Structure 1
Amino acid sequence: MQNILVILDKPKHEQIALQRALELAEKSGAKLHLVSFVYEPLASMPMLSSSMLNVSEELEKERGKWLQALQSEYSLPPGSTAEVIWHHDITYWTLEYLDDNPCDLVVKTAQKQFGRGGFGSIDWRLIESLPTALWLAVSTHWVKRDRIVAALDPAIDNPLHVELNQRVLSLGGTLSKLLDAELESVACVPVHSEVADLDKFREETGALLKAVDKVIADSGVNCSRTHFVTGKPAAEVNRVVDRNKARAILVGRGVRKGPKGFLLGNTAERILGRANTDVLIVP
């Protein structure tokens, strides 16, 4: 991991994203690029733009002073940079930046109090569109163990799902080594309890579990434990994460196409929406 883009929180906030990025940079030697967004919508209105010019300049100037103070407060890795961005669309700017600059990871604090499924609209647009892995951080003071859980898709008869699982495991393996954390995996089969109790189903799930284990073995990544559960994935996957007090969950993106299938389908959207810890979205 060499380059990390950090979308800073607004001033007076906790700067959770920066804290996560600094930890990764310390362990990996990566350089950080910090960006702080500021924008005043009135500046784009033709009838008001001239009168707002001084206000806009003052806003950028004040944010620049804050960013300088922030860099003095936190010890950034050598070669790191920071800038104030005047832009109304964080997602659009981020995509343009990634087109022109090599980047291994984007880190941002999650807007857990807003929007559908617990995330804000900016978060969902980043989830849907970024070509780079995205770390959405939340304040998780209750986390007790350095443990990362990779959510795997059990539909391993589909080569695309297998490839996505491999990418999730690969990033999970990298992060677990950097953070000295245990890596576990979880695969959930979405069936009703009546079906799960059938002897025939139990026989078939045994074979499926072996197939999931093979996917993990083929990845070359060491998982200390695989949780194989049945039920509603959003509830069961997050139950595993919460019960083990994991610091992060990895979820893959990119198998299905179209507006309703930007992740592993609506299932992954529900998993993310109910997550109580950091989430990493793997494209």
Structure 2
Amino acid sequence: MKIDSILVIADKQNAEQKALLHSASMAAKFGASLHIVAFIYEDLASLAKELDSTQVDDIKAKLLLAHQQWLNHKITELKIDANLTSEVVWEKDISRWVKQQSKTTHYDLIVKTGHRSEGAFYVPTDWHLMRNGVTPVMLVAEKKWRKKRAIMVALDMATQVKSKQALNQKLVDAAATLGTITGMPVHYCCSVAISPVLKDLGLIDKNKTLKRAKELYMPALQKMLGENAVSTEQIHIKAGDASTVIPSLASKVQAELVVIGSVGRKGVRAKLMGNTAESVLALLKTDVLIIQP
């Protein structure tokens, strides 16, 4: 994973500005440049009834200037020492702007503070970025369990779909790069789905199923790792649904960052079902790096 250019979404509502701090740290490690963007939008349509267009434009300009002054102050206050540019954009739909911007300007990574409390039928900016972005997205945790010291990558080793198998390799490569840069160990999480109904009926033997999975997954994973030596203690093949296995294991290994793939469902099916990356976000209290095929 090569990171030369990072797009950072600054959030005025986040008092600690963790996305800014985290992106500055990554820029220092990778020698990357930062483009920091803050967004502002107010519905000024009602003012058009009382003021002329010039006055409305003047109000908009003043709001933009005040927001830019806040952003400049925050960058100075946090002592972000990096090759950076910044701007304030008048835009209500952040994900749409990011998608359009990514078509004309290449970024290796998008960094944003993650918000994980929305309802099932509401699709916030985080979800849109995960589904529609071609650039890896890092959602920085607002709160964490404790001081972390590891990276964990979640893999779908059961898939027979070639694009998902290729995505597994991208996840492994990204985690290996981040592990080398940060000096943190990398743990590999593979979940094995077992029907609780069939298990309770005695139609599936959990231990035998796990044993078969390990016999299949271990050689495949070692092939993906290539020359990267990994101890068996860093490979975790667990029975259960990925949405529960991933957060549980992340807590156990004290992960600071979880690397996960997102295949990007769209429409009503996405709102009702989501995908693994989205379903675990509500439970993970770590930073999350989402990579798409």
Q: TM-score, normalised by structure 1?
A: 0.87
Q: Match for 1:147 among 150, 162, 179?
A: 150
State the match for 1:172 in structure 2.
Answer: 175
State the match for 1:116 in structure 2.
Answer: 120
Of structures 1 and 2, the one with the larger relative CO (CA 8 A, separation 6+) is: 2
- Residue 227 in 1 paired to residue 229 in 2? no
Separation in structure 1 between the aligned mates of residue 14 and residue 288 of structure 2, nearest angstrom? 23
Structure 2: gaps spanning 5 or more residues: none
Separation in structure 1 between the aligned mates of residue 290 and residue 220 of structure 2, nearest angstrom? 20
State the match for 1:209 in structure 2.
Answer: 217
Separation in structure 2 between the aligned mates of residue 88 and residue 265 of structure 1, nearest angstrom? 23
| Cα shift readout 1:89-138 (whole Å, capped 9, x = no counterpart) | 11111112111112110000011233439x96111111111100000011
| Cα shift readout 1:197-231 (whole Å, capped 9, x = no counterpart) | 3565244223223244334334x445451110011
Q: Which amino acid aligns with 1:74?
A: L
Is the 2:24–2:82 contact (alpha carbons within 8 Å) kept by the matching residues of 1? no
| Aligned alpha-carbon RMSD (Å) | 2.7
State the match for 1:85 in structure 2.
Answer: 89
CA gap of 1:171–1:206, structure 2 versus 1, over 3 A, is closer
Is the 1:3–1:105 contact (alpha carbons within 8 Å) kept by the matching residues of 2? yes
> How far is the alpha carbon of 1:196 from its aligned partner?
5.7
- Residue 272 in 1 paired to residue 275 in 2? no
Is the 1:190–1:233 contact (alpha carbons within 8 Å) kept by the matching residues of 2? yes
Separation in structure 1 between the aligned mates of residue 75 and residue 266 of structure 2, nearest angstrom? 41
Tell me which moved more, 143-152 or 183-192.
143-152
> How far is the alpha carbon of 1:31 from its aligned partner?
0.7
Is the 1:32–1:76 contact (alpha carbons within 8 Å) kept by the matching residues of 2? no
State the match for 1:197 in structure 2.
Answer: 205
Q: Match for 2:22 among 20, 23, 34?
A: 20
Q: TM-score, normalised by structure 2?
A: 0.84
Q: Which amino acid aligns with 2:182?
A: L
State the match for 2:31 in structure 1.
Answer: 29
CA gap of 1:87–1:236, structure 2 versus 1, over 3 A, is same
Number of aligned residue pairs: give it. Answer: 279
State the match for 1:248 in structure 2.
Answer: 257
> How far is the alpha carbon of 1:11 from its aligned partner?
5.4
- Residue 102 in 1 paired to residue 106 in 2? yes
Is the 1:148–1:183 contact (alpha carbons within 8 Å) kept by the matching residues of 2? yes
- Residue 133 in 1 paired to residue 154 in 2? no
